[in-house]
């Protein structure tokens, strides 16, 4: 089996956890959330660290479940109506002896952090889901099923409904099943919550364009010098490095979810050309865009 990339996305999971796909969210129109349904036979699988937060809602079949997370094993019995949570960027090992059918809902880091910032109006450094193998939480299961239903049969207004359900799910998880690390700032050294959100929104709205430091500074009415200093204090990285990471993240999504050519993806993500995208992608992801697409 090929070595795992540093973080795997939802479309790569079947490489390590084979199953029969039953539902898949649309390739376009959903932001920050995605869903996959699977029928699984008895399995013993090790899952590399994932890019997104994962919610597993159990639909059919009852099984004993063992999971190793953070060096600790947990043992429970899971069946229809139950829910498991797995935080992002963490190794896990799952073992179950019976056939099951599940729905996976994935929330991106930006989605959960953005919701968290709006809830508390504070800058978020990190969000970690609690180690929950069996959550007694019907609200999460019900929301996961509604999202899966939209993926399978959605009609007019589907993306708006999913956006609402994603927000509802994020708020519920943040209230009951998450540890939030807020960023400490020394006085006015960093951007305010509102300024940071404005910068992120500007980047997402103009990602296909040539975004300059002046553009970012102007979005929050600061000089280049003051913006660069405050942004680094807030984000822990330079504006250029943050913008490049957003371009790569968008490219990963388009490579996994669309049939767009590499040239089209490079343009849609704001890279100077395909070669520029390939160099940046290889440096940050450890593979070329073509290699990433083939294993997704």
Residue-wise pLDDT for 90-132, tens only, equals 999 999 999 999 999 999 998 999 899 888 877 788 899 999 9
Q: What is the pLDDT of residue 195?
A: 87
Q: Which residues contact 177 (CB under 8 A, 6 or more apart)?
A: 85, 129, 130, 132, 135, 137
pTM equals: 0.68
In terms of Cβ atoms closer than 10 Å to its own Cβ (0-12, 13-18, 19+), residue 283 is exposed
pLDDT at 186 over 60: no
pLDDT at 281 over 90: yes
pLDDT at 58 over 80: yes
pLDDT at 2 over 50: no
Strand partners of residue 135: 83
pLDDT at 47 over 80: yes
Mean pLDDT for the stretch of residues 209-236:
90
CA 149 to centroid of chain Cα atoms: 20
216, 202 contact by CB (below 8 A): yes
Q: Confidence class of residue 193 from pLDDT cuts 50, 70 and 90? A: confident
Q: What is the pLDDT of residue 148?
A: 97
């Amino acid at each position: 089996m090929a070595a795992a990339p540093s973080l795997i996305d939802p479309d790569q999971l079947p490489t390590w956890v084979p199953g029969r796909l039953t539902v898949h969210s649309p390739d376009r129109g959903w932001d920050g959330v995605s869903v996959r349904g699977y029928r699984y036979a008895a399995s013993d699988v090790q899952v590399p660290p994932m890019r997104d937060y994962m919610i597993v809602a159990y639909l059919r079949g009852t099984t004993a479940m063992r999971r190793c997370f953070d060096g600790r094993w947990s043992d429970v019995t899971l069946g229809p109506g139950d829910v498991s949570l797995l935080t992002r960027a963490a190794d896990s090992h799952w073992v179950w002896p019976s056939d099951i059918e599940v729905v996976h809902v994935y929330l991106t880091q930006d989605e959960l952090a953005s919701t968290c910032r709006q809830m508390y109006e504070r800058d978020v450094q990190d969000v970690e889901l609690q180690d929950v193998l069996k959550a007694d939480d019907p609200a999460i299961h019900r929301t996961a099923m509604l999202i899966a239903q939209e993926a399978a049969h959605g009609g007019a207004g589907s993306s708006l409904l999913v956006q609402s359900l994603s927000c509802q799910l994020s708020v519920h998880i943040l209230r009951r099943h998450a540890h939030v690390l807020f960023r400490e700032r020394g006085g006015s050294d960093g951007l305010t919550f509102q300024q940071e959100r404005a910068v992120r929104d500007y980047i997402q709205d103009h990602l296909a364009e040539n975004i300059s430091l002046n553009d970012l500074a102007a979005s929050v009415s600061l000089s280049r010098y003051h913006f660069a200093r405050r942004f680094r204090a807030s984000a822990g990285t330079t504006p250029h490095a943050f913008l490049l990471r957003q371009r790569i993240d968008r490219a990963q999504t388009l490579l996994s979810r669309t049939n767009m050519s590499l040239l089209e993806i490079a343009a849609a993500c704001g890279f100077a050309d395909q070669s520029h995208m390939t160099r940046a992608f290889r440096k940050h992801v450890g593979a070329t865009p073509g290699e990433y697409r083939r294993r997704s």
